[in-house]
């Protein structure tokens, strides 16, 4: 699909990846409906989109309220007479244990990250059916495929987003010109980490190799041009996922060790709701939380940890073998 003059909705368009997406698509001549909770921030994005050669309207929307999402879709159709692409992107994060964290905070993450996408699908798909054409893009995560501690409700919501896409593909199997795509990026350098709700009192930082939002935005733009079911950004993610399927316990222990050490620093951070209920922080594309170590340093640490784990495993096997041999002699 040629992007120029296509009518595209972006939720979560005020900052981070959504903001980068707006700029990327505007530069290719798209007509954009920008949705998020902050009207002033959206106006700033819209002005920049106009400068880049696109058209943009601002539709303040809380994606946890279905009536507002439905009104967003209606506003787009009233303005341009059609809807070509809907990008479900709005999302929030909570750093808290699943078992002891505040259940209302966990619930809010799932309301935003899952129900916000469900409401988007319920608004967009009927229009696509009338047109017999359209593209729904759900922005998931590598965490749609593998678990992670510290952000359990976020992981649960992203797994559910994958399920939402799979379900819709079957429902729309008789509509060959309607596409449901799931984008699954690895860590992205956005304000995501600094505006997250925090109940652990420590400072989260991106895990290397962190990606520029502009890179992920370009990849998602390719889904508009040539839809496909699932897209990993970067593609090398599939190698890590394959290793997880082959050696799940080993990879999970490595994940836990690395995330404890490098994702959540010992630097204290004030606990609070972050942007769960109200917008927070500067509306910008990039974040202010660089990784604690470079990508080469991180992979060096991973390699060293794998060697250490292997040596420890061999030691445990040798100890058990020695114990069994001693028992045999005693018998």
Quote the crossing angle between the two packed helices 152-171 and 116-131, to the nearest 10°: 20
Which residues lie below 8 Å from residue 246, measured CB to CB, with a gap of 6+? none
Residue of 190, 180, 248, 197 whose CA lies nearest to 215: 190
Distances, alpha carbon 85 to alpha carbons 30, 175, 233, in Å: 10, 15, 20
User: Quick count: other Cβ atoms within 10 Å of Cβ 230?
Assistant: 17
Report the alpha-carbon angle 184-65-93, nearest 5: 40
Q: How far apart are CA 116 and CA 238, in angstroms?
A: 27
Task: Locate 309 and state its tokens.
Answer: 């784990």
User: Quick count: other Cβ atoms within 10 Å of Cβ 135?
Assistant: 23
Whether residue 234 is preceded by a cis peptide bond, meaning omega within 30 degrees of 0, is yes
- Within its chain, how far is the Cα of 106 from the centroid? 16
Q: How far apart are CA 12 and CA 170, in angstroms?
A: 27
Catalytic residue among 95, 117, 154, 186: 154
Q: How far apart are CA 122 and CA 129, in angstroms?
A: 11
Distances, alpha carbon 325 to alpha carbons 313, 315, 317, in Å: 18, 15, 12
Based on the residue annotation, tell me whether 277 is a catalytic residue of this protein.
Answer: no
Active site residues: 154
């Amino acid at each position: 699909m040629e992007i120029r003059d296509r009518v595209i909705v972006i939720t979560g368009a005020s900052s981070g990846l959504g903001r980068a997406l707006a700029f990327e698509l505007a530069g290719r001549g798209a007509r954009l409906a920008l949705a998020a909770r902050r009207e002033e921030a959206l106006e700033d994005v819209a002005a920049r989109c106009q400068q880049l050669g696109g058209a943009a309207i601002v539709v303040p929307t809380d994606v946890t309220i279905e009536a507002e999402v439905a009104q967003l879709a209606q506003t787009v159709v009233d303005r341009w007479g059609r809807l070509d692409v809907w990008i479900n992107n709005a999302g929030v994060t909570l750093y808290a244990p699943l078992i002891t964290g505040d259940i209302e905070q966990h619930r809010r993450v799932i309301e935003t990250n899952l129900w916000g996408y469900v409401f988007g699908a319920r608004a967009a798909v009927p229009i696509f059916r009338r047109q017999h054409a359209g593209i729904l893009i759900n922005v998931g995560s590598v965490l749609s495929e593998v678990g992670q501690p510290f952000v359990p409700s976020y992981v649960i919501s992203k797994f559910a987003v994958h399920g939402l896409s799979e379900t819709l593909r079957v429902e729309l199997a008789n509509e060959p010109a309607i596409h449901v795509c799931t984008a699954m990026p690895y860590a992205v350098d956005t304000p995501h980490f600094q505006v997250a709700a925090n109940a652990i009192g420590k400072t989260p930082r991106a895990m290397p190799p962190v990606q520029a939002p502009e890179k992920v935005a370009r990849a998602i733009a390719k889904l508009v041009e040539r839809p496909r079911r699932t897209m990993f950004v970067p593609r090398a993610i599939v190698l890590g996922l394959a290793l997880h399927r082959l050696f799940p316990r080993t990879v999970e222990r490595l994940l836990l060790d690395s995330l404890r050490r490098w994702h959540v620093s010992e630097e204290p951070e004030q606990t609070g709701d972050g942007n769960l209920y109200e917008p927070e922080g500067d509306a910008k594309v990039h974040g202010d939380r660089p990784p604690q170590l470079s990508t080469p340093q991180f992979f060096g640490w991973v390699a060293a940890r794998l060697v250490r784990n292997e040596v420890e495993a061999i030691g445990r096997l040798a100890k058990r073998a020695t114990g069994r041999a001693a028992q045999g002699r005693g018998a």
